[in-house]
Amino acid sequence: MVRVGLAMLQGARHEHAEALRAASQQLQIEIQVVELRSSLEVDESLDCIILPGGESTAMRKASQSESLLSALFSWMEQHPQRPVLGTCAGAILLANPGENQTPFLRAPISRNAWGRQRDSFEAEGEISLDTPSGERVSLDTAQRDKFNHQPLPVGTQTVEENSTRFHGVFIRAPRFDQSNIECTPIASFGDEVVGVLDGQRLALTFHPELTGDYRFHRWLLDKAHSAQ
């Protein structure tokens, strides 16, 4: 059983839960998604963590009352071998966790570097990340959660599993400072690096949870599973 901590700060968290469910079925790994809302929920039993996209300033504020972010950062310091996936605002938090906190990513990042919301875009890119292949399973439709939230209909796109291509959804995305990346680039479009791996921390400036591409979630579960 892999216990996945999903930071419920704000943003695209329900879609991540769906993507995790799909990835776990494809890998045939049993998981439990632990929704993290307060620091008390961040404990030793978590095998990996997802920091979703959203609005990083709102996330920092939202976490203050429950000290969630500081608990997540201590967990990451204590368990550098346990994998973490940060998407978009999650990547910002990893690269720039705040004052008095050493960055978790050797890749400086700038917020909203492509422009405003209307400058959001989709682009085809290349990945070079060793992701485990998954069984072909028919995924059941996403259920409404206890807050009556229906996740976006992910999984409707066909992903060519053996391809190195990926479809990137960039929503008011940040940009890595291209000339100062000191960890491994794993995703790019053209010359632009849009995903990096630093140890067991995978940071993407796009939103794989909004497409049917579960390779990054499979990477997370596989790493967490083999570290057990």
8 Å CB contact between 59 and 11 = yes
Q: CB nearer to ligand GLN: give 134 or 174.
A: 174
Closest CB 21 distance from ligand GLN, rounded Å: 21
* Cα–Cα distance measured from residue 217 to residue 211, given in angstroms and rounded to the nearest whole number: 12
Which residue of the set 14, 16, 207, 217 is catalytic? 207
Residues engaged in binding ligand GLN (CB under 6 A): 11, 53-56, 88-89, 92, 111-112, 171-172
Which residue of the set 14, 48, 209, 225 is catalytic? 209
Closest CB 3 distance from ligand GLN, rounded Å: 24
Closest CB 166 distance from ligand GLN, rounded Å: 16
* Cα–Cα distance measured from residue 228 to residue 226, given in angstroms and rounded to the nearest whole number: 5
Q: CB nearer to ligand GLN: give 120 or 133.
A: 120
Q: Residue 121 corresponds to which amino acid?
A: F
Q: CB nearer to ligand GLN: give 52 or 134.
A: 52
Give the gyration radius of the chain's Cα atoms: 16
Q: CB nearer to ligand GLN: give 17 or 89.
A: 89
Strand 48-51, strand 2-7: pairing: parallel
Query: Residue 207 catalytic?
Result: yes
Query: Residue 48 catalytic?
Result: no
* Cα–Cα distance measured from residue 157 to residue 20, given in angstroms and rounded to the nearest whole number: 16
* Cα–Cα distance measured from residue 89 to residue 92, given in angstroms and rounded to the nearest whole number: 5
Closest CB 182 distance from ligand GLN, rounded Å: 22
Closest CB 91 distance from ligand GLN, rounded Å: 8
Query: Residue 209 catalytic?
Result: yes
* Cα–Cα distance measured from residue 132 to residue 129, given in angstroms and rounded to the nearest whole number: 9
Q: CB nearer to ligand GLN: give 88 or 220.
A: 88
Token digits for 167?
């479809």
DSSP 3-state of 3: strand
Token digits for 212?
């049917």
**Which residues are known catalytic residues?**
88, 207, 209
